[in-house]
Amino acid sequence: MDNRSKILSCALQLFAARGYDAVGVQEIAEAAGITKPTLYHYFGSKYGLLQSLLQEQFTELQNVLLKVTVYHGDLPLTLTRVTQALFDYAATHRRFYRMQLSMWFAPPDSESLKAISEVNGDQQQILEQLFIQAAQDHGNMRGRHRAYATTFLGMINTYIGLALNNHLALDDELVYKAVHQFMYGIFS
């Protein structure tokens, strides 16, 4: 593994465990077995490191999401696939998802929130597109795609958050429950 990858990997581990603000550049460098100028050579700044980290992981997540967000008239089916994909991604990228989640709920003026907002818009838009398509079949959904996408993602992220702390398991039963809870919320 080259130094750049080593830095990214160690930074992810440290940020996920203690948070962006609480981890120093020096510490990351030591963990990666390099020195600070090397880190600054690749990423320019601590914040740039965070951006690169988020960027690279998020494009992967978005590709997964794009593959699974195809709508063919059966919204529960698509939502089930999306939920499964997100659960699966969270389970196989626990560290990253943990970091991403804590940043999602970070204070409004924190650098963490700023960083993740820059990157997160696409994910939201993919989901919004899905709900816009579905609204063509279900009139009462029209005009609420933004709210639906946010709520859906919020619910999923909550479940993942609970699962990461071992309060529940991300099994098929939970997928089923989550989707039906959400659908129930739409048609009531």
Partner DNA sequence: CAATGAGTATACCGAGTGGTATACTGTCCT
Partner DNA sequence: AGGACAGTATACCACTCGGTATACTCATTG
Q: How far apart are CA 8 and CA 45, in angstroms?
A: 13
Measuring CA to CA, how many Å separate 140 from each of 131, 132, 144, 152? Answer: 11, 11, 9, 17
Q: Establish if 40 lies at the interface with its own copies (CB under 8 A).
A: no
Minimum separation from the CB atom of position 2 to DNA (A): 6
Q: Say how many C-beta atoms besides its own lie within 10 A of residue 84's C-beta.
A: 16
CA nearest neighbour of 163 among 103, 97, 107: 97
Q: Which residues bind DNA (CB under 7 A)?
A: 2-4, 23-27, 34-38, 40-42, 45-47
Minimum separation from the CB atom of position 145 to its own copies (A): 13
CA nearest neighbour of 80 among 147, 132, 124, 130: 130
- Residue 65 interacts with which of DNA, its own copies, none, CB < 5 to 8 Å by class: none
- Residue from 99, 130, 141, 170 in contact with its own copies (CB under 8 A): 99
- Count of residues that bind its own copies according to CB under 8 A: 40
Residues 145-184 that bind its own copies (CB under 8 A): 146-147, 150-151, 154-155, 157-159, 161-162, 165, 167-168, 177, 180-181, 184
Instruction: Tell me if 182 sits within 8 A of 152, measured CB to CB.
Output: yes
> Cβ closer to its own copies: 63 or 124?
124
> Cβ closer to its own copies: 89 or 159?
159
> Cβ closer to its own copies: 37 or 143?
143
Instruction: Tell me if 111 sits within 8 A of 47, measured CB to CB.
Output: yes
Q: How far apart are CA 63 and CA 21, in angstroms?
A: 29
Q: How far apart are CA 175 and CA 169, in angstroms?
A: 10
Residues at the site binding its own copies, with contacts judged by CB under 8 A? 15-19, 21-22, 98-99, 101-102, 104-112, 146-147, 150-151, 154-155, 157-159, 161-162, 165, 167-168, 177, 180-181, 184-185, 188
